[in-house]
């Protein structure tokens, strides 16, 4: 963890997130989101959460971009500008209030890496101390995900497969079904 | 057009050369989760990328012949089933659900059984994730290209 680098990454994250919301061209927004994920992966790697960084880089910066682009090609590339002034004001105020609340609450959090933090006190001590003897696995993250907390992982896997199945069933078209979205001249 | 042969020959050749190695790296990440970063989720994504890259760049018939569309749902289902089955095996020997250490095999200590159980779980998660990603990609491009 290098504080100046972290500050730069945070600035880049905020700028790319705001830009991704602002641009009209959705392909640009996808590229910005991929950049956001890449810098988030750097941030995770900076706090030595290498497993999370790897997933963020592979999924966030890589595959989601491809899926988003496929979705854009199947739908439309440009968004209309929001003309509703009142909605913008309400959204801006509530976002600012929420950010303020989070910043206020973060003052009560323990410091990053504090050994006295509540999260370091409970069952995690046992996991860290016994992981190698229990499972012969040097990477504690893996033994946590696939052994100590494997029911959570089973639930996540179920969610992913179910979500993909549901999306496929919604989007799939039968052979005899025409294209409703005005692209009939393509076939 | 999302899939189909890409106009630039450089892109086509580079992707054709790279995608087997991306696949191999995905399998390495899945199998190497015990010792380094990664595991089923990250490795499954890499495997899916290794399959999707040829679909984006190579000729459509060739890419879909290499890895047929049906493989996505099959891999996802087999992965999830494998996870559930490996979870129920310890129940037969009196252990708890997903408690691989309770399975008794002569000459193998419980810690080693848990090590092997983790490996099977990582492979199952990798199959499920790569299958789910492939399924999503295929249904998104099929709307457009067929």
Q: Is A68 part of a structural domain of the chain?
A: yes
Tens digit of each residue's pLDDT (9 = 90 or more) over A116-164: 888 888 888 888 888 888 888 888 888 888 888 899 999 999 999 999 9
Residues 6+ apart with CB under 8 A from B117: A146, A147, B86, B100, B101, B103
Is pLDDT of A184 > 80?
Answer: no
Q: Is A93 part of a structural domain of the chain?
A: no
Name the minimum distance, in Å, from the CA of B66 to any CA of chain A.
20
How does the average pLDDT of chain B come out, rounded?
87
Cα dihedral angle (A90, A94, A97, A99), rounded to 10 degrees? -130
How does the average pLDDT of chain A come out, rounded?
86
Rounded CA separation A141/A148 (Å): 10
Q: Which residue has the tokens 């848990």?
A: B114
* Domain housing A17: 1-80
B100 at A interface, C-beta within 8 A: yes
The percentage of chain B sitting over the pLDDT mark of 70, rounded to a whole number, equals: 95
Rounded CA separation A23/A15 (Å): 12
The reply to whether residue A147 touches residue B40, judged by beta carbons under 8 angstroms, is no
The reply to whether residue A55 touches residue B34, judged by beta carbons under 8 angstroms, is no
CA distances from A41 to A38, A59, A113, B39 (A): 5, 10, 19, 16
The reply to whether residue B49 touches residue A58, judged by beta carbons under 8 angstroms, is yes
Rounded CA separation B6/B98 (Å): 46
Q: Is A73 part of a structural domain of the chain?
A: yes
- The residue of chain B nearest to residue A168, with distances taken between CA atoms, is B139
Name the minimum distance, in Å, from the CA of B6 to any CA of chain A.
15
Q: Is A148 part of a structural domain of the chain?
A: yes
Rounded CA separation A65/A52 (Å): 18
Please classify residue A63 by burial: count the beta carbons closer than 10 Å to its beta carbon, then call 0-12 exposed, 13-18 middle and 19+ buried: buried
Q: What 3-state class would DSSP assign to A88? A: helix
Mean pLDDT across the stretch A110-121? 82
**Residue A183 pLDDT:** 45
Is pLDDT of A187 > 50?
Answer: no
The reply to whether residue B37 touches residue A73, judged by beta carbons under 8 angstroms, is no
DSSP string, B70-137: THHHHHHHHHHHHHHHHHHHHHHTT--TT-GGG--BTTB-HHHHHHHHHHHHHHHHHHHHHHHHHHHH
Based on the structure, what is the number of domains in chain A?
A: 2
**Residue B78 pLDDT:** 95
Tens digit of each residue's pLDDT (9 = 90 or more) over B92-136: 888 888 888 888 887 888 888 889 999 999 999 999 999 999 999
Q: Is A29 part of a structural domain of the chain?
A: yes
Q: What 3-state class would DSSP assign to A78? A: strand
Tens digit of each residue's pLDDT (9 = 90 or more) over B5-47: 778 888 889 998 999 999 999 999 999 888 988 888 999 999 9
Q: What is the DSSP letter of A179?
A: P
Tens digit of each residue's pLDDT (9 = 90 or more) over A80-91: 766 778 888 999
Q: Which residue has the tokens 């919301």?
A: A21
The reply to whether residue B45 touches residue A171, judged by beta carbons under 8 angstroms, is no
Q: Are A132 and A73 in the same domain?
A: no
Q: Are A142 and A74 in the same domain?
A: no
Q: Is A153 part of a structural domain of the chain?
A: yes
Q: What is the ipTM of this complex?
A: 0.87
Mean pLDDT across the stretch B60-89? 90
**Residue A174 pLDDT:** 63
Q: Is A157 part of a structural domain of the chain?
A: yes
Which of A59, A151, A157 to mutate to test binding with chain B, by most B CBs within 10 Å of its CB? Answer: A157
Q: What angle do CA B64, B137, B59 make, to 5 degrees?
A: 30
Contacts of B46 in chain A (CB under 8 A): 58
The reply to whether residue B125 touches residue A157, judged by beta carbons under 8 angstroms, is yes
- The residue of chain B nearest to residue A148, with distances taken between CA atoms, is B99
Q: Is A88 part of a structural domain of the chain?
A: no
B53 at A interface, C-beta within 8 A: no
Last residue within a domain, chosen from A55, A80, A105:
A80
CB A55 within 8 A of CB B42: yes
Tens digit of each residue's pLDDT (9 = 90 or more) over A37-62: 999 999 999 888 899 999 999 998 88
Task: At A54, list the tokens.
Answer: 């790897």
CB B49 within 8 A of CB B22: yes
């Amino acid at each position: 963890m290098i504080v100046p680098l972290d500050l730069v990454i945070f600035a880049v994250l905020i700028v790319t997130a705001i830009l991704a919301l602002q641009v009209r061209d959705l392909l640009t927004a996808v590229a910005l989101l991929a950049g956001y994920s890449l810098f988030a992966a750097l941030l995770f790697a900076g706090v030595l959460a290498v497993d999370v960084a790897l997933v963020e880089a592979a999924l966030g910066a890589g595959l989601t971009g491809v899926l988003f682009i496929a979705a854009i090609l199947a739908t439309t590339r440009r968004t209309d500008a929001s003309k509703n002034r009142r909605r913008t004001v309400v959204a801006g105020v509530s976002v600012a209030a929420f950010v303020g609340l989070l910043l206020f609450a973060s003052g009560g959090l323990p410091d990053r890496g504090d050994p006295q933090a509540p999260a370091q006190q409970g069952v995690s001590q046992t996991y860290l101390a016994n992981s190698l003897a229990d499972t012969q696995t040097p990477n504690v993250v893996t033994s946590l995900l696939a052994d100590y907390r494997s029911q959570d992982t089973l639930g996540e896997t179920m969610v992913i497969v179910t979500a993909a199945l549901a999306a496929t069933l919604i989007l799939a078209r039968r052979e005899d079904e025409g294209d409703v979205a005005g692209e009939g001249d393509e076939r | 057009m999302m899939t189909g042969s890409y106009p630039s020959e450089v892109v086509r050749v580079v992707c054709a050369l790279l995608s087997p190695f991306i696949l191999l790296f995905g399998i390495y990440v899945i199998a190497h989760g015990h010792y380094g970063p990664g595991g089923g989720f990250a490795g499954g994504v890499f495997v899916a990328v290794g399959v999707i890259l040829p679909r984006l760049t190579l000729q459509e018939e060739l890419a879909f012949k290499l890895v047929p569309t049906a493989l996505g749902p099959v891999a996802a289902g087999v992965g999830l089933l494998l996870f559930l089955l490996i979870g129920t095996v310890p129940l037969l020997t009196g252990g708890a659900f997903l408690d691989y250490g309770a399975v008794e095999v002569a000459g193998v200590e419980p810690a080693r059984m848990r090590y092997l159980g983790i490996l099977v779980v990582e492979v199952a998660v990798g199959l499920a994730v790569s299958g789910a990603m492939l399924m999503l990609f295929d249904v998104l491009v099929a709307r457009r290209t067929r």
